[in-house]
Amino acid sequence: MTQVGREDKLIKTDQLIKQGFAMRPLRLDSLEIFEDVVRCGGFRAAALGRGVSSSAISQSISVLEEALGIRLLNRTTRSVAPTEAGERLLERLRPALYEIRTAVDDLNQLRERPSGTVRINAPGPAADHVLCPLAFEFMKIYPDVNVEIVSDAAIIDIVEQGFDAGVRFGNQLAQDMIAMPLGPALRYAIVASPDYLRKRGRPGSPGDLLQHDCIRRRFPGGTMVTWKFARDGDEVEITPKGRLTLSSAHQELQAALAGSGIAHLFEDYVRDDVEQGRLIELLCDWKQKLPSWYLYYPSRRHTSAAVRAFLEFIRNQRWYPDRKER
């Protein structure tokens, strides 16, 4: 083949390659969306996280699979799971996306003010009464930072689920996490409506609760919450009985106000209702002091400028028993 012939062949090959990419473009955001879908376990959850429609997420995945020429996800009506090819891609993709995000964040550190998003997973009571008020204050100081708080009582892997930090009790934290106190020490309150107590009477001890209609709570994993009490060195733990079982503190509060039974709630949840007489606190001398909530985050992970600013903001708080009243 002559030199001219070789050059013509190279030109034609180059043109074919360019045409192929033009027909099947490979976009970085499609790779990020693919990672989100697998991490979230479906198109709908990934779509909610990105603020777009499920159909847009599905279309992005279809375009990516077409560009790569191979199926990445097995789809059923109930679940989405990566194929063998998808697993291989994810294995190489996650470190690469991490490096890209780190590089972008390094540039953000050159800005005068931190920017980006802080994603936190927290149980409802911690989010309602501690984390949200702090986040509102933090966002006034850092107007370029977005905060996303997801209320969830389940024990999850925050790294796998794409969260920067989580909130749990100290004894629920993995050993490879760094933790700091979030709020003052906690206490549970036993409360009931005046109407319920007129009909059923007041319990005089924790054991008396077993003769009452208690409002029970079940954790997402299926475990039923037990009620613990302490007084003068004596500790009592009971498994409450009752006709109503719920899954959140907010629901329990509404049930107690409706006279459906005796509730076991953090003091923060019931303080206003007790002060206004809508609920009556019981067994006050049996309150057990609990550890505070803890904000925790991975010890082996690059943290963005926004996350570092939030952690520093929390670290500078001073927790006093009467902090909310000051």
pLDDT, one tens digit per residue, over 244-270 is 999 888 899 999 999 999 999 999 889
Give the model's pLDDT for residue 114.
82
Q: Beta-strand (E) ranges in the chain?
A: 73-75, 80-82, 116-122, 145-151, 165-169, 177-182, 186-192, 215-217, 227-231, 234-238, 244-246, 263-266, 280-282, 289-290, 293-298
pLDDT level of residue 166 (50, 70, 90 thresholds): very high
Give the model's pLDDT for residue 19.
44
Is 21 in a helix, a strand, or coil? Answer: helix
Closest by Cα among 298, 311, 39, 42 to 176 = 298
d(CA 48, CA 60): 15
Cα end-to-end distance, the chain, whole Å: 88
Give the model's pLDDT for residue 157.
81
| pLDDT greater than 80 at residue 38 | yes
Q: Which of residues 161 and 235 earns the better pLDDT score?
A: 235
**199-212: per-residue pLDDT in tens?**
999 999 999 999 99
Share of the chain above pLDDT 70, in %: 83
Q: Are 268 and 161 in contact (CB under 8 A)?
A: no
Give the model's pLDDT for residue 200.
95
Instruction: For residues 154-180, give the mean pLDDT.
Output: 79
28-40 vs 84-108: helix crossing angle, rounded to 10: 110
pLDDT level of residue 175 (50, 70, 90 thresholds): low
Residue keyed to tokens 């013509």: 8
Residues paired with 215 in a beta bridge? 244
| pLDDT greater than 50 at residue 9 | no
Where residue 222 falls (left for φ over 0; alpha for ψ -120 to 50; beta otherwise) is left
Q: Out of 12-26, 127-141, 143-157, 213-227, give the one with best mean pLDDT.
A: 127-141
d(CA 123, CA 169): 10
55-to-36, 38, 292 alpha-carbon distances in Å: 15, 16, 42
Q: Out of 52-61, 102-111, 238-247, give the one with best mean pLDDT.
A: 238-247
Instruction: For residues 277-285, give the mean pLDDT.
Output: 96
Is 99 in a helix, a strand, or coil? Answer: helix
Residue keyed to tokens 């503190």: 249
pLDDT level of residue 16 (50, 70, 90 thresholds): very low
- Among 4-13, 71-80, 213-222, the range scoring the smallest mean pLDDT is 4-13
| pLDDT greater than 70 at residue 1 | no
Q: How far is CA 103 from the centre of its chain?
A: 25
Q: Which of residues 319 and 200 earns the better pLDDT score?
A: 200
| pLDDT greater than 50 at residue 323 | no
Taking the whole predicted model, whether its pTM rises above 0.75 is answered as: no
